[in-house]
Amino acid sequence: MSRLTINTVATAPSDAQARVEAVEKANGFIPNLIGVLSNAPTALEMYQEVGKINARTSLSAAEIEVVQITAARINECGFCVAGHTKISTLKKLFAEEVLTAIRAVEDFAAQEPKLNALARYTVAVMQNKGAVSDAELAAFFAAGYNQQQAVEVVLGVALATLCNYTNNLAQTEINEQLQAFA
């Protein structure tokens, strides 16, 4: 059971109701993360607006999901692992063995060397609070990434941190619609 209220459209604070309603309309259900974030309407707004910004980065959809799943695993957020696994599966972004490796934060360089380098860099950013070593940054660049993308990974980690930490704080239950991806 969640330690924080999981709001519906009817119970969300008035400043969050329109956002919660839009999510329900778009998805056919309200992910529990949205219900929890709506307790702080500005946090819900940040999640949605930064999410839109994150989607506009130079990273591909697959690369964005590598960052999000990796961050969720490092932050031990099962809810976000399930949610981003569902997105990745529905969009057919990865071969099954690659998705399994991403979810386990395991090396998958043999199958997808560039995406693996992104995952390793994401781990380094998180474990070192951004202070990656020269070698870690050089490996990221050697894989074909650039300075813009080095910072965009930090943006993705920031977005993931809001979601992951909120879910961990609330002990958010994984929606039935996401259970198969947990």
The number of beta carbons lying within 10 Å of the beta carbon of residue 78 is: 17
- pLDDT by residue (tens digit) across 83-125? 999 999 999 999 999 999 999 999 999 999 999 999 999 999 9
Identify whether 84 is part of a domain. Answer: yes
Question: How many angstroms from the chain centroid is the CA of residue 8?
Answer: 22
What pLDDT score was predicted for residue 61? 98
What pLDDT score was predicted for residue 22? 98
> Distance between CA 182 and CA 179 in Å, rounded?
5
**24, two tokens:** 């329900």
DSSP designation for 57: S
Identify whether 10 is part of a domain. Answer: no
- Tell me the average pLDDT across 46-66: 98
Split at pLDDT 50, 70, 90, the class of 176 is: very high
Exposure letters 35-48 (e unless 16+ CB within 10 A, then b): bbbbbbbebbeebe
The CATH number of the domain holding residue 77 is 1.20.1290.10
Identify whether 91 is part of a domain. Answer: yes
Domain with 68 in it: 60-163
Is the model's pTM score more than 0.95?
A: yes
